């Protein structure tokens, strides 16, 4: 298959109406933080058990078209010896891989951060592909205050995202471009809208500079939402209206699909907001979910590291997946 056909086939498999993505690509420190909430130690075996539970959920492929994995998971096996990426593929779920190596402070820009991982990326992608990965993810984060993010951070992160996306496409791997405007802080919904618009505008400018084919990539943005510490809690209609307006001003219709991150919203909020977004305004792209916490929180609490809770935890995951799938069609009935 030519690289173009390969990219198109993967995009078609991911961007299916009424389906979304499961983000299960927590890094070592992040999964340890999640496991701590249920009193489970983050050992390789416990991570394998948890991710096997997720991927072996019967019927998950009805609502989930792709799963983002962490490097370690690509090489792990289910109890019966089946490699986990293959288990996902057997469920009709395309396996993908987080390829950035995390964020560090951006030099000469106090309070801003930059994501690393470009060095050797093309070579690493060859290995990930051999292990079954067909798409990739890179997350850039933007801290928000009255002065953050700086122009420098907006430009530097856009450049890295675009270089990553171009390298992926050249390797026949569909890039998910994830610019996350953080919910941490006490900023208003309006401030989030201003920052998100500037960020996305710069990201698409950089993608264009690097000749990234928009039809062969997916965008994973944050919703336009007030900071967690802000006094006013915006309604789902306000979140939806601002989110769709900002995306409309910045994201070309050629982009194959937009899959939101949940970013610290409660599972119920993330579903309700996605549903409202799909009932709002002019939307030239499919708008769905690529949730980590909002899909995993309730099954994780149900599991608690106990083998006898596996089935019930899988039912909890299936429920969130089904509700978000409905929300991706604007058909969620809370």
The yes or no reply on residue 225 touching ligand 13P (CB under 6 A) is: no
- The three-state secondary structure class of 236 is helix
- The three-state secondary structure class of 129 is helix
From first CA to last CA, the distance across the chain in angstroms is 44
Residue 126 annotated in active site: no
Marked catalytic residue, from 19, 98, 137, 220: 220
In this structure, the number of other CB atoms found within 10 A of the CB of residue 66 comes to 29
In this structure, the number of other CB atoms found within 10 A of the CB of residue 104 comes to 10
Of the pair 103, 230, the CB lying nearest ligand 13P is at 103
Question: H-helix or E-strand containing 192?
Answer: helix 189-209
Of the pair 178, 275, the CB lying nearest ligand 13P is at 178
Stretch that binds ligand 13P, among 4-12, 112-120, 191-199, 261-269 (CB under 6 A): 261-269
Antiparallel, parallel or unpaired: β 64-69 and 94-98: parallel
- The binder of ligand 13P chosen from 47, 191, 293, 320 (CB under 6 A): 293
Closest CA to 11 of 162, 161, 170, 134: 134
Antiparallel, parallel or unpaired: β 135-142 and 174-181: parallel
Residue 129 annotated in active site: no
- Cβ atoms of residues 7 and 169 within 8 Å: yes
- The binder of ligand 13P chosen from 66, 95, 132, 263 (CB under 6 A): 263
Marked catalytic residue, from 178, 180, 197, 297: 178
For residue 205, what are the CA distances in angstroms to 46, 59, 149, 157, 286? 42, 40, 17, 12, 21
Of the pair 159, 178, the CB lying nearest ligand 13P is at 178
The yes or no reply on residue 66 touching ligand 13P (CB under 6 A) is: no
The yes or no reply on residue 85 touching ligand 13P (CB under 6 A) is: no
The yes or no reply on residue 262 touching ligand 13P (CB under 6 A) is: yes
The yes or no reply on residue 139 touching ligand 13P (CB under 6 A) is: yes
Stretch that binds ligand 13P, among 37-45, 56-64, 234-242, 258-266 (CB under 6 A): 258-266
Stretch that binds ligand 13P, among 150-158, 245-253, 259-267, 310-318 (CB under 6 A): 259-267
User: Minimum Å distance from CB 208 to ligand 13P?
Assistant: 24
The yes or no reply on residue 291 touching ligand 13P (CB under 6 A) is: yes
- The binder of ligand 13P chosen from 187, 292, 317, 328 (CB under 6 A): 292
Of the pair 137, 281, the CB lying nearest ligand 13P is at 137
Closest CA to 78 of 66, 62, 65, 89: 89
DSSP at 102: -
User: Minimum Å distance from CB 289 to ligand 13P?
Assistant: 8
* Number of amino acids touching ligand 13P (CB under 6 A): 11
Q: How far apart are CA 316 and CA 318, in angstroms?
A: 5
Of the pair 23, 214, the CB lying nearest ligand 13P is at 23
Both tokens assigned to 83: 């490699």
Of the pair 23, 244, the CB lying nearest ligand 13P is at 23
- The binder of ligand 13P chosen from 23, 53, 177, 199 (CB under 6 A): 23
The yes or no reply on residue 179 touching ligand 13P (CB under 6 A) is: no
User: Minimum Å distance from CB 261 to ligand 13P?
Assistant: 4
Q: Name 292's Cβ contacts closer than 8 Å, sequence gap at least 6.
A: 22, 23, 24, 25, 26, 261, 262
Q: Name 305's Cβ contacts closer than 8 Å, sequence gap at least 6.
A: 35, 38, 39, 40, 46, 49
Residue ranges that bind ligand 13P, judged by CB under 6 A: 23, 25, 139, 178, 261-263, 291-294
Q: Give the catalytic positions in this structure.
A: 178, 220
């Amino acid at each position: 298959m030519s690289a173009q056909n390969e990219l198109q086939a993967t995009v078609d498999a991911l961007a299916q109406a009424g389906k979304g993505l499961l983000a299960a690509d927590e890094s070592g420190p992040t999964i340890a933080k999640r496991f701590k909430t249920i009193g489970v130690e983050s050992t390789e075996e416990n991570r394998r058990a948890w991710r096997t539970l997720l991927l072996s959920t019967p019927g998950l492929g009805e609502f989930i078209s792709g799963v983002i994995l962490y490097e370690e998971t690509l090489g792990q096996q289910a109890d019966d010896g089946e490699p986990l990426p293959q288990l996902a593929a057997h469920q009709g779920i395309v396996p993908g891989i987080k390829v950035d190596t995390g964020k560090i402070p951006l030099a000469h820009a106090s309070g801003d951060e930059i994501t690393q991982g470009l060095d050797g990326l093309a070579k690493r992608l060859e290995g990930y592909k051999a292990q079954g990965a067909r798409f990739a993810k890179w997350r850039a984060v933007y801290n928000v205050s009255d002065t953050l993010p700086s122009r420098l951070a907006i430009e530097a992160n856009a450049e890295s995202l675009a270089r990553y996306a171009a390298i992926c496409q050249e390797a026949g791997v569909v890039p998910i471009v994830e610019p996350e405007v953080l919910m941490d802080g006490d900023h208003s919904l309006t401030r989030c809208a201003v920052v998100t618009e500037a960020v996305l505008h710069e990201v698409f400018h950089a993608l264009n500079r690097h000749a990234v084919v928009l039809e062969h990539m997916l965008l994973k943005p944050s919703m336009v939402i007030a900071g967690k510490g802000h006094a006013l809690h915006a309604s789902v209609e306000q979140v939806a209206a601002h989110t769709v307006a900002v995306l409309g001003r910045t994201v070309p219709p050629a982009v194959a699909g937009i899959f939101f991150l949940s970013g610290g919203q409660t599972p119920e909020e993330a579903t309700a907001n996605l549903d409202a977004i799909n009932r709002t305004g002019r939307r030239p792209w499919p708008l769905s979910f690529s949730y980590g916490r909002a899909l995993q929180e309730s099954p994780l609490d149900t599991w608690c590291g106990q083998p006898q809770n596996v089935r019930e935890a899988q039912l909890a995951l299936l429920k969130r997946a089904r509700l978000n799938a409905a929300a991706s069609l604007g058909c969620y009935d809370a």
